[in-house]
Amino acid sequence: MHYRVLALAFILLLAAAAPSFAYGKSVEDLVGSFSIGKSIKIGSGSECFSSADAVDPLTPPESAATGALADDQPPSIASFAFQPRQLSAACALPISLTAHLIDDQGVWAAEAAFFGPQGEKSVALFSSQNISSGNAKDGFYWAQMLLPSINETGEWQLHNLTIVDREGNSRILKQKDLQNLGMPTVIRVI
């Protein structure tokens, strides 16, 4: 029994005196540049979903590109239009939207978010499958949208247009940005 106590005491003494490298590297031993990202999503068109399995259509699959050749530039817009720009409150017609989007690695998706006179929201999603001509690097995308409360008259304002490329780089154009580019931003319901 005396040997068991001595053996147990010896094992405990070794465990207490073991250096930290015996259990793996500490954070201080890591070399290189690191970044930690945190995003908080609060109820927005493509970010607010009813199930945990739903996928945000503006989030591309993970990219393996790293280093000096990794894409870090957001996509750009060459044109944006929609028809009709004026609707009758008595007739709910779909609104057809087109966008000419450009990115050196390819556009993943875009989203146009409109807000109505009473704060209602309507969203048009331009997915990578909706290219009417061109390709993902330089293409014309289309989408359709219905306004939810068409029996009210007033203006629906384009709040923003978000464009995301295949690497996850995004550009958010506000209403004023699009107006400065000469692009339409208002749908009138009469």
CB contact set of 190 (below 8 Å; sequence gap of 6+): 86, 87, 88, 89, 153
How far is C-alpha 114 from the chain's CA centre?
Answer: 17
Q: Is 185:175 a contact under the CB 8 Å cutoff? A: yes
Q: What is the pLDDT of residues 140-170, one digit of tens each?
A: 999 999 888 667 789 999 999 999 999 999 9
Site of tokens 């490329």: 165
* CATH label, 77-189, candidates 3.30.1330.10, 3.40.50.620, 3.30.750.24, 2.60.40.2550: 2.60.40.2550
At 45-79, the pLDDT tens digits run: 444 444 455 567 777 776 555 555 567 899 999 99
Q: Can you give the residue ranges of every domain in the chain?
A: 77-189
